[in-house]
Chains A and B, each alone.
Chain A
Amino acid sequence: MGATLISAEDIKKRYEMGQVHVYALKGVNFTLREKELVVVLGESGSGKTTLVNIVGGMDRPTEGRLHFGQIALHDCDEAALTDYRRNQVGFIFQFYNLMPNLTARENIHLAVEIARDPLNVEELLRQVGLGDRGNHFPSQLSGGEQQRVAIARALAKNPRLLLCDEPTGALDLPTGRQILSLLSEFRDRYGKTVVIITHNTNISRMADRIVYLKDGKVEWVKKNEKPIPAEEVSW
């Protein structure tokens, strides 16, 4: 594995709801290294999505220090966070979140247009198996196909970090496997760091490392000595 890409120290996130303060993260510590595939496990309400939002630069920690390489994300202003999201992070969501009135190709172009060093759109479409479906709108694609577009779109910017929030949550097993394969393949081919957030413990079997979140804290971190290929993951 490579050098440290992300380091989080005592990250806390507090939400204020009127008089009540709710802590979604209560002091999270972990690191992510380059080119590794990490699965963040946790049950509903454990703080997984809050963590991915903070790591992805979509939200700021209330307390703690978060670094991406030399960049202190906890100190970044809105413009710097935007730049970080634009050039370093690719997001993949459970419900794909494609622009409904743009075709598959256009959805990917949307990311390419703002990237500094984008990948080739047609190449990506081919790699995700949608070479002939580029002109279809999301409503004309199956769930698996939509998620493949979302992966291509996230990769198109050529980011160093891919954050996947429940990427198979809305898919059946065979389609989910295909998606996991793609993520694994892209990690290998392009050398990206891939973080998969899920409550599905079976997926952790393909990870290099597993981070387990519980009640807003990292309960444990475990290295997986023998990751299995994505095609063999089952649930």
Chain B
Amino acid sequence: MTLRRKMLRDMRANAGSYLACLALVVIGVVAFLSFSIARDNMVLSKESLYREENFADGFAELAAMPEHRLRKIRRMAGIRQASGRLIRDVQVHDPEREASVYLRLVSLDLEETDRLNDVRLLEGEPLSDKEMRCWIDGQFFEANRLELDQELEIIAGGRTRELVVSGVGICPEFVYPLRTESEIYVNPEQFGVAFLPDKIMWSLFPEMDRAFNSLAFSLEDGAEFQDVKEELEIELERYGVIEVYPREDQTSHFILTEEIEVIGTMATFFPVMILSIAAFIIYIVLKRLVEQQRGQIGILKAFGYSSRAILLHYFSYSLTLALIGGAAGGLIGMWLAGPLTDLLYEFFHLPEVYAGFSVRHLLLSLGICLAVLGFGGYHGCKTVLRLEPAEAMRPPAPKGAKKFFLEKIPFFTSILTIQGKMAIRNLFRSRSRTAFVFLGIAVSCAMVAFTWALATESMPKFMFQPYQEVMVYDARVNLENPRPRKAGREELERLAEVARAEPLVEIPVKLIHRWREENVAAIGLLPESRLYNILDKDGNRIVASDDGLILSERLAENLGAAPGSTLELESIFLRDPDRTVKVAVVAVVPQYIGMNAYMGIAGLEDLLRRGEFATAFLVETAPGPGTVRDRVAGLRERYRESDFVAGVDEREDLVALMEEQWETAGWVINLYVLIGVIFSFSIIYVSSLIVLSERNRELASLRVLGMTSREVFSVITFEQWFLAFFAVIAGLPLARLIMNAFARQWSTDMYAMPAEMSAGSWLAGIAMTVISIWAAQRFTLRKIKRLEIVEALKTGE
């Protein structure tokens, strides 16, 4: 009881250190719990949707397969269930909207009782084979402020059709619906998914009457996907199979799984780092306290307090912090998990599942805090056990001091003041504290430099480089089917809105290198293309070669290929799709979104043994009255009901979307920078307090000698700046290592995070660290000014 009072007063007397530690504990637990709960919410939500709506194990994309063939597929070994779908992207016509709006129409077999990738109807009415009605995904519905029974004008098969919204739903296949592989963020205002009865779909697209272009299938228990894939590829060959892929490669599932994993990493990486620092601080603080109070420990032992009771007393300092931090962090973390989950549900179309207050999570956060701080605290105060009572009553023998090695250099000695020498010798005397401060400053500097580089270099490059440096067209005219490129180009360039048009071929291919294979889009470009730049590591333009493929880095890595390697290429666009052709790799370039292979358009045509063709045109608008946006709108209007134009995309829309996303991501990254600064400040502040309490008498003696507070202060600051100089130097390569590790961890087949870090970020790291040190030292100076000389010089405590 009385010892508890002593503890509380001790903590109050040294509140700064304990509060810094407590703040870190709370931040660590908040990060852990909010991310963990958000991840759990996502996992629960995902699993329930997948289970209840029969999410498929595999998918096949094909040109067209007659409906009746589905029966045979369903009977194949290893396949439990198969659903055929017709999937088509169409434009939504809305004269009041400038930007293109697309809907992916997905057919549903209304007679099938347990459809794969079924839709969970959130509101609305069932569909009927006889009406042009659809269910629409919830995010698109909300983002476009639609209402039930509202009519949407879509352009299907070159004609404007009216589609009535009959219901709102979510589907496991489109949790994160992206229109193309070159996008990274969902854009529900401009792209959504609509589900229609298959008979209605066939009426919209008569050329696909009673046929499917997509299969979803689930596997029998114990069946291997690879075996089924091989069988399916043979079976579907005659229907123009493009790709058979497992659930793991399905875009929406892949991104959702990645996101859950990233949140899981955040739930461990940050808390582990923050709590480790908290544990280290409590270790140093308690170690110092035990040394400082050895006389008091002696008294307690002399009274008859057992070593264990005294250990428990000092241990209770860390336990108190753990309990307060764990409880506060737990409650705040649980509370913050809600908004964080909301944020995720804005991107992912999932049923909204929220874990409310949970005793389990609260106990978990308490348990983690007790374990981490208990570990640090125990090691900090375990010397209590070793201290003999009689020994404890005596002041500790003074630590040995000697000249440090640099003092052998006369020049170095001559430039140091007495305070400087004291400071430096002290660094060598208290090695563990020196190591702590050194490590702390190095890590802080690295954290700030890393987060700064992430915020100002890597993330902007990742998000904007593809749309500002690579794809520099004003608009992209996508074709329904491949068309002759020369004629198409001439037609476009005759239009008033168009200054330049470049054909582009984008076709699905399978690339094979030894035993490795990847399904990607091959892109054919004009060698003289000005609207689509292939850039090397240094940002220099590379000409699309007619002699071979240029691979994106990730693709080359996955294939184990390098310039000079020969790949085999398969594609339904080959004149003879049953054959494979060989093609050389001529270069490898960085690419941040998606994986692609590039080639000169004529070279690609030759490779495929086809005549000239294009699947899209890139357009630079002509200068003239109005904005680029107006000219693109004019172009879009021209092709609104065209039979061969699937849509006109404006690059500016993508940049605007990225900017919008960047605003959301920006505050999170700024938060990371702030955490880096708080780290730095806490470590320096705690180390200053320790130095101050450790050398109270020594510093007071200097004051008695006639030194001013500032002169005394300079002993401490010199020590810190000297150490900081070397720690900052060590922090910079550490920042580079963290950045490389982060980029590697974050990169997937869909995204590659550039590990950018320039001198600017390093300078920011140094500057922030210096500011943190300076700010922490101001607090120390205040304490020095308040130093009671007489009190400090009194013998005993």
Contact = CB atoms under 8 A, between A and B. Distances in A.
Contacts of A59: 388-390
A84 to B, nearest CB: 8
A78 B309 CA distance: 13
Given A58-B389, A59-B388, A102 B5 contact: yes
Contacts of A139: 791
A170 B776 CA distance: 39
Given A58-B388, A58-B393, A101-B13, A114 B303 contact: yes
A97 B303 contact: no
A96 B796 contact: yes
B306 interface: yes
Interface size band for B: 20 to 34
B303 A100 contact: no
Given A58-B390, A102-B6, A106-B5, A91 B302 contact: yes
A101 B10 contact: yes
Contacts of B10: 101
B330 interface: no
Dominant SS among interface residues on chain B: helix
29 contacts: A50-B390, A57-B389, A58-B298, A78-B307, A82-B301, A85-B302, A85-B389, A86-B305, A87-B304, A89-B304, A95-B795, A96-B796, A97-B295, A97-B296, A97-B298, A97-B393, A97-B796, A97-B797, A101-B6, A102-B2, A102-B6, A106-B5, A106-B6, A109-B1, A110-B2, A110-B300, A110-B303, A139-B791, A157-B304
Across the A-B interface, give the 8 residue pairs with the lowest CB-CB distance, nearest first. Answer: A86-B304, A58-B389, A101-B9, A59-B390, A95-B796, A53-B390, A85-B304, A58-B390
Of B6, B302, B307, B795, most A-chain CB atoms within 10 Å: B302
Contact of B6 (A57, A97, A99): A99
B302 A58 contact: yes
B784 to A, nearest CB: 20
Contacts of A96: 796
B390 A102 contact: no
A110 B3 contact: yes
Nearest to A96: B796
Given A58-B390, A86-B304, 18 more contacts: A59-B389, A59-B390, A82-B307, A84-B304, A85-B303, A95-B795, A95-B796, A97-B296, A101-B10, A102-B5, A106-B5, A109-B2, A110-B300, A113-B2, A114-B303, A114-B305, A114-B309, A157-B303
Contacts, number: 83
B299 interface: yes
Interface in B282-297: 295-296
Nearest to A102: B6
B744 to A, nearest CB: 51
Contacts of A82: 301, 304-307
Contact of A86 (B5, B303, B307): B303
Nearest to A100: B797
A87 B306 CA distance: 12
Nearest to B296: A99
Contacts of B296: 97, 99
A101 B3 CA distance: 10
Contacts of A102: 2, 5-6, 9
Interface string B309-342: 1000000000000000000000000000000000
Interface of B: 1-3, 5-6, 9-10, 13, 295-296, 298-307, 309, 388-390, 393, 791, 795-797
Contacts of A93: 299, 393
A91 B303 contact: yes
Contacts of B388: 58-59
A83 B304 contact: yes
Interface string A28-68: 00000000000000000000001001001111000000000
B273 to A, nearest CB: 34
Contact of B2 (A56, A58, A106): A106
A117 B300 CA distance: 18
A59 B390 CA distance: 6
A11 B31 CA distance: 61
A3 interface: no
Contacts of B393: 53, 58, 93, 97
A1 interface: no
A133 B778 CA distance: 38
A111 interface: yes
Interface in A69-128: 78-79, 82-87, 89, 91, 93, 95-97, 99-102, 106, 109-111, 113-114
A83 B309 CA distance: 13
A114 B299 contact: no
Interface in A143-161: 157
A101 B796 CA distance: 13
Contacts of A56: 302
A86 B304 CA distance: 4
